[in-house]
Structures are given as structure tokens and as C-alpha cells.
């Protein structure tokens, strides 16, 4: 199976609604690695890696986000595989 890594920039009403915890659960459910963090500019940043179909399904889910989120855009660019296994919630950076 082909693996890919993507860097996501998610904009809209995405902070203060549990988006990071939701993203971590969604990634773990799909067996993906990476991390998620809030950015000072109000966006959420994600680095995600894993099997192509699972990453694509994760990105599609991010377009909706958790209840209470108002996602406006999800910009995806090629990323590098995150170090180590698992998916982490990082502090704002």
C-alpha cells in the first residue's frame, strides 16, 4: 500500500470547539501518524501520514470537523513523515 504525508492548514471557526482532540481521535481511528496544533493566527495545523486511502478519508473528514466547528478551507500540501508512531496534540505553535 502506498503511504503519503500531508500538511494541512484548516481555517474557519476551528479553535475553541475541540478540533484538535477530534482530529487526534479521527487520525488514531484510521491508524494514522502525525500531530495537530492551533496556530496563533486562528487556524489549525495538521501533519498527517499513513496509507493513502486513510489519509484522504481523514482530509475529507477535516472539511466538516467536530460539532460546533465552521470549517471554511482545508489547504493540503505534501508533507514529510512525522517522527515516530502515533498522533499527538501539540501546544499552540
- Residue tagged active-site, from 21, 38, 52, 63: 38
52 is catalytic: no
63 is catalytic: no
Q: Would you list the DSSP string of 54-87? A: HHHHHHHHHTT-STT-EEEEEEEEE--PPSSSSE
Q: What is the DSSP code (8-state) at residue 5?
A: E
- Catalogue the active-site residues: 20, 38
Amino acid at each position: 500500500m502506498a503511504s503519503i504525508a500531508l500538511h494541512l492548514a484548516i481555517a474557519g471557526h476551528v479553535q475553541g470547539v475541540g478540533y484538535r482532540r477530534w482530529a487526534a481521535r479521527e487520525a488514531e481511528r484510521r491508524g494514522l501518524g502525525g500531530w495537530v496544533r492551533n496556530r496563533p493566527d486562528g487556524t489549525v495545523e495538521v501533519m498527517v501520514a499513513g496509507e493513502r486511502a486513510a489519509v484522504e478519508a481523514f482530509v475529507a473528514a477535516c472539511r466538516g470537523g467536530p460539532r460546533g466547528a465552521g470549517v471554511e478551507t482545508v489547504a493540503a500540501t505534501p508533507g514529510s513523515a512525522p517522527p515516530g508512531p502515533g498522533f499527538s496534540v501539540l501546544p499552540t505553535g
